[in-house]
Amino acid sequence: MLTKKQAKAFFIGGTVLFFLIFVGMTVNSLTVGIPQNTNADNITDSVKHGKLLWDQNNCMGCHTIMGEGAYYAPELTRVYSRKGENYIRTVLNAKNGGWGPRGRKMVEYDFTTEEVDDIISFFEWMDNVYLNGFPAEPSIGE
């Protein structure tokens, strides 16, 4: 059994030790982890504009990206590698919005060719972000 003095020293020592570990992990995440895993060097003006279009058109209202958003429409984190540039371009240019899987209808957008290119650039960049295995491989039927 510990005395009061030993228990206090154990508590304070443990608190300091784990606080230092937390600070070290935070510094590592901010200086190495985030820039390396997000491919920050590959963020071009086109990628930024594509992300802006994603936000302005409330794409997250139906789709998810990196697990965030709604679950009405397909998850789009790795759509560039799963479906390819031509598929994305076709969907974004579809008249009357086009019909998606399971009878879901996508909203029709009047994107310019440059805007479609920027959205595709955003998806291509997103495809190269390291997400530790997320999302899981899609089932064969998708």
State the pLDDT confidence band at 3, using cuts at 50, 70 and 90. Answer: very high
pLDDT digits 0-9 by tens, 67-80: 888 888 888 988 99
User: What pLDDT is recorded for position 107?
Assistant: 82
- Shared domain for 47 and 19, answered yes or no, is no
Average per-residue pLDDT for the chain: 86
As given in the structure block, the two tokens for residue 105 are 């209808």
* Average confidence (pLDDT) over 39-60: 91
- Shared domain for 28 and 88, answered yes or no, is no
- Asked if the model's pLDDT at residue 131 lies above 60, the reply is yes
Q: Are 43 and 92 in contact (CB under 8 A)?
A: no
Backbone angles phi and psi of 58, in degrees to 5? 50, 45
Query: Residue 104 has what DSSP assignment?
Result: P
Backbone angles phi and psi of 75, in degrees to 5? -70, 135
Tell me the pTM. 0.71
- Shared domain for 17 and 68, answered yes or no, is no
- Shared domain for 67 and 109, answered yes or no, is yes
User: What pLDDT is recorded for position 139?
Assistant: 66
- Shared domain for 109 and 128, answered yes or no, is yes
* Average confidence (pLDDT) over 20-35: 86
- Shared domain for 69 and 21, answered yes or no, is no
* Residue range of the domain that includes 85: 43-142
- Shared domain for 75 and 126, answered yes or no, is yes
- Shared domain for 106 and 125, answered yes or no, is yes
Among 6-20, 43-57, 63-77, which is the least confidently predicted range?
63-77
* Average confidence (pLDDT) over 12-20: 97
